[in-house]
Amino acid sequence: MKRSKNNEKQLTLELAQLFKEIDNQIQELLQEYGTAETLLQGQITIILSPIKASHEEYYNIIKEHVLKEFEMGTAEGDRLVELNNPKMVQEVINEIRRKNLFGTLEYTEQKLLNETFTASERTLTRVNENINKILTEGYQSGEGIEKVSQSITKRFQQLETWEARRIARTEIHTAHNQGIMRSYETLDVEYTQWVSAHDSRVRGHRKTDKANHIIMDGEIIPFGGTYSNGLKYPGDKSGKIEEWINCRCSHAPFVVPSGHIVPPGRSHFEESDLISFRRHVSN
């Protein structure tokens, strides 16, 4: 996953630079339009305008990196499945490429880009609301332009550091696992298994964690199903935010061992739940 780490690091740097540029633009507008003791709504709108104007650039920065990661995830999924049946994988991939069938799949680049666009809008809307609150509350309490300016810069410094890292990690992780899902769908994987990062940072170690991915480790579901935490795959943004934000878990194809069957009627299970033919027959 070294290339993914490099991709994540580069995205973090580019996002940090963009947030810094937005801060500089807002500071210039604040000095020009924020000299009065009170701010009119029109002045606030002008001061905040760099945030809205940056949406396309923000989206394009993330788009470049998630598309790269999506393809890397697809390639990793191919490798993981090939470990189980190398001949089948190559035959299926060749047939798919010959007929150009990738666009018919559920996990496509366009689906990823639509989700990325929505996420980028949501992030910049939150930033806009944060800075708007700093402006309005600062002037209402009589803090003055210099104090308000410092508060805005402090907020952007958070965006340039730990928030940029969190955004990059989340976007890269989600794109990578969506790429893996495209591979699994293409290659008709029947079951997938949740794999945690196996370290002390996995959520569930701290009492304050709202999710527990320690207990998720090893859980198995039919492809396209839903894990017990509500996600279809690690990083699935359709689930609760505490389950996917900053997540580092992965998922592997699971092949039911010869001589075993899946426990009937179970939407998710673990390897220890498999039923052997011998045990089944003897019972």
Region of 119 (left: φ > 0; alpha: ψ -120 to 50; beta: rest) is alpha
Residues 147-202 pLDDT 10s: 999 999 999 999 999 999 999 999 999 999 999 999 999 888 999 999 998 899 99
For residue 269, the Cα-to-chain-centroid distance in whole angstroms is 25
Residues 79-123 pLDDT 10s: 888 887 655 555 655 655 555 554 457 888 999 999 999 999 999
Residue 164 in contact with residue 15, Cβ under 8 Å?
yes
Backbone φ and ψ of 56, nearest 5°: -65, -40
pLDDT value of position 104:
57
Q: What is the DSSP letter of 163?
A: I
Positive or negative CA dihedral for 223, 215, 80, 74? positive
Quickly tell me which residue has 């800075």 as its tokens: 131
If 0-12 CB within 10 Å is exposed, 13-18 middle and 19+ buried, where does residue 29 land?
A: middle
pLDDT tier, 213 (very low <50, low <70, confident <90, very high otherwise):
very high
pLDDT value of position 123:
96
Backbone φ and ψ of 276, nearest 5°: -80, 150
Average pLDDT of span 246-266: 92
pLDDT value of position 36:
81
CA-CA distance, 228 to 231, in Å (whole number)? 7
Residue 219, pLDDT > 70, answer: yes
If 0-12 CB within 10 Å is exposed, 13-18 middle and 19+ buried, where does residue 40 land?
A: exposed
DSSP-based three-state secondary structure for 216: coil
Positive or negative CA dihedral for 61, 62, 64, 69? positive
Name beta bridge partners: 193: 220, 252
Lowest mean pLDDT among 37-46, 95-104, 144-153, 274-283: 95-104
